[in-house]
Amino acid sequence: MMRRVLIILIVLVAVGVAAGLVITAPKTLPASEVAAGYHPDVANGQVMFIAGNCSACHMTPGQDDRTQLAGGLKLKSPFGTFVTPNISPDKTYGLGGWTEAQFVNAMKRGTGRHGEHLYPAFPYPSYSLMKTSDVRDLFAYLQTLPAIAKPTAPHELKFPFNQRLAVGGWKLLYFHPHEFKPDPAKSAAWNRGEYLAEGPAHCAECHTPRNALGGLETAQLYAGAPNLEAGGRFASNITPHKDGLGDWSEQDLTDFLKSGTDKCFNEPEGMKDVIASTGKLPDADVAAIAAYIHALPPVAGNPKHKTC
């Protein structure tokens, strides 16, 4: 009798483990999403590149050319140190050997070239909102940049965070991919701003606090969070609460995103890399982002880290 019970328990555990592996396995988009015959808009790809501020993480450390994307930047976190990859079109160390479909799946499903889970230090929860055509345009633009034959170091992660299988569980909890849908009750400018801010620009990824597992605390969306790579500084509250940007006008925000100088004539150090990109966006896109951020629900949080 006991032997039969033990066998049943072993079978149930095995079935449970198998089901868990299936549920948390890396996912990819259907092939029809990246069907052949698409003619990418490279100019739009450049806009996506700038909006996403890809250079901030992927440009080669120690130089100023934002098109030299050999990676190698070390991002410290409570889970260990992540090292940003080479995304230049080099065939050995960069994206030169990737297919368009592999790139789209990395951006929109967090699944790597070899079918592995990607760590969410790469903000694919935000990128999943992007239109597939915009991601394809971005890939086409990246192919026009200099190829740099330079390897990057591996991540330096603690156990169990160095086990990519665990990322499948994280995705089950915090990654719910869906493409952006405009709100018909809002203006075209507001919708464009939401798309850019929530998708490619991934503003919430820095300006929202996280829990112990690295998931966003959505009740505190945009209420500010520690910026671990900025020497203890905070990514400030950017909601229109008095703790954040409550006394900023929409024009103040637009001017700041273009110039990097806030309404008090300061130049916040932590935003310099961001402004290096937003300052190059089309004026209409900058104004759209400002319109969206200015209309966010006010959320209390981090008053001592108020921007201005």
Q: For residues 224 and 216, is the Cβ–Cβ distance under 8 A?
A: no
CA distances (Å), origin 213, targets 156, 170, 171: 17, 8, 11
Q: Does domain 188-305 have CATH number 1.10.760?
A: yes
Tell whether the model's pLDDT for residue 77 goes beyond 70: yes
Q: For residues 240 and 290, is the Cβ–Cβ distance under 8 A?
A: no
Q: Domain 38-174 - what CATH class?
A: mainly alpha
Burial class (CB in 10 A: 0-12, 13-18, 19+), 72: middle
**Euclidean distance between CA atoms 66 and 58, whole angstroms:** 9
Please check whether the two domains, 38-174 and 188-305, share a CATH topology. Answer: yes
**Euclidean distance between CA atoms 71 and 62, whole angstroms:** 11
C-alpha 10, offset from chain centre: 41
Domain positions in the chain are 38-174, 188-305
Interval 88-142: pLDDT, tens: 999 999 999 999 999 999 999 999 999 999 999 999 999 999 999 999 999 999 9
- pLDDT at residue number 91: 96
pTM of the full structure: 0.89
Three-state DSSP state, 57:
helix
**Euclidean distance between CA atoms 276 and 51, whole angstroms:** 10
Average pLDDT (161-189) is: 93
Tell whether the model's pLDDT for residue 5 goes beyond 60: no
DSSP 92-151: TTSSTT--HHHHHHHHHH-B-TTSPBPPTTS-HHHHTTS-HHHHHHHHHHHTTSPP----
